[in-house]
Amino acid sequence: MIPASFDYHRASTLQEAFTFAQEYGEDAKYLAGGHSLIPMMKLRFSEPAHIIDISRIQGLKYIKEEDGILKIGALTTEADLEFSDLCHDKYPILVDVSKLIGDPSVRNKATVGGNLAHGDAANDHPAVMLALKANIVAEGPNGTHNIPVDEFFKGFFETALEQHDILIEIQIPATKAGNGGAYNKIERKVGDYATSGVAVNLTVDTSDTVVDIGIGLTNVNPVPMRVSRAEEALKGNKLTQELIEKAGKIAGEDCSPTADLRGSEDYKRSITKELTIRTINKAWERAKASL
């Protein structure tokens, strides 16, 4: 498998990347880790005439808390998340998800920004960021803008990024007492896309009442989706297994999976329900532990 020829441009600053992007327009593609784009190019499904390598742009690789916000630079690799002490201590959901993306070697190269910017509902970070109610920071030739994650996934393989935009940072409200998150997915084998994946970020008070909740789903909808109705069912209520079961049921109903080699639509709905129940419980366990 050999990709078609292209011209290569390495940007050392965002500005330089925009200049290349504006010059080559539709014929250009940004390349960060490359683990979504390069396989497509090797299959010659994608034959961009110009590749703009943004992986060397300085200052886009970090995981830090600042002003009550967890900030993740877009060029942070999945492995960076997996081995981040900060994530281990305070954001286990990010460790959960990074450990389930691709495989260990893929995670050394694949970036969080790339995973999101690809706009593929089968990728794992979209669901997690929906659950975490993240804010996506994009920068383009005309400056920086914030995109709430709910507005980011506009459609099928389509994000709110403007043509020359580069996703530069993901912002997540910093974790606090009573907050716990978890991600899990069912996959046919290691490295596969999720048959279904569920991300839950939950905040409870000392009486187990849900103060805040985010639930996102992977690969059971054409577009990464939040299960709003399940969130509404839980929010403000005291958590019980019955309620969690109800939330799971809603997740199974509200997703819109497509049958493929992984299984039928019914199967995916059913396991989404079960996975939602289990993941809420896991998040709850963590939330209680943080109180």
Angle at 98 between CA 96 and CA 101, to 5 degrees: 110
- Which of 110/204 has CB closer to other proteins? 110
- Quickly list H helices, 110-168: 112-117, 125-131, 149-152
**Neighbour tally for 90: CB within 10 Å:** 18
Interface residue with other proteins, options 1, 85, 206, 289 (CB under 8 A): 1
Number of residues that bind other proteins (CB under 8 A): 78
Lookup result for tokens 């539709």: 26
User: What mask, x for binding other proteins by CB under 8 A, covers residues 213 to 242?
Assistant: --------xxx-x--xx-------------
Binding status of residue 45 toward other proteins by CB under 8 A: yes
Q: How far is the CB of 77 from other proteins (least distance, A)?
A: 8
Strand partners, 138: 145, 167
- Could you say which residues in the range 153-212 bind other proteins, by CB under 8 A? 154-158, 186, 188-193, 195
Interface residue with other proteins, options 254, 279, 280, 287 (CB under 8 A): 254
Phi, psi of 254 (to 5 degrees): -85, -15
Nearest in space to 171 (alpha carbons), one of 219, 231, 129: 129
Binding status of residue 5 toward other proteins by CB under 8 A: yes
Q: How far is the CB of 280 from other proteins (least distance, A)?
A: 14
Q: What distance in Å separates the CA atoms of residue 211 and residue 220, rounded to the nearest whole number? A: 27
Binding status of residue 23 toward other proteins by CB under 8 A: no
- Which of 178/257 has CB closer to other proteins? 257
- Could you say which residues in the range 102-141 bind other proteins, by CB under 8 A? 102-106, 108-109, 118-120, 122
Interface residue with other proteins, options 274, 281, 288, 290 (CB under 8 A): 274
Lookup result for tokens 């639930």: 215
* CB of 231 closer than 8 Å to CB of 213: yes
**Residues near 124 by Cβ (< 8 Å), separated by ≥ 6?**
97, 100, 101, 115, 183, 185, 194, 197, 218
Interface residue with other proteins, options 17, 20, 36, 124 (CB under 8 A): 36
Q: How far is the CB of 225 from other proteins (least distance, A)?
A: 8
Q: Which one of 148-156, 163-171, 205-213, 235-243 is the stretch in contact with other proteins (CB under 8 A)?
A: 148-156
**Neighbour tally for 15: CB within 10 Å:** 12
Q: How far is the CB of 239 from other proteins (least distance, A)?
A: 20
* CB of 134 closer than 8 Å to CB of 144: no
Q: How far is the CB of 69 from other proteins (least distance, A)?
A: 26
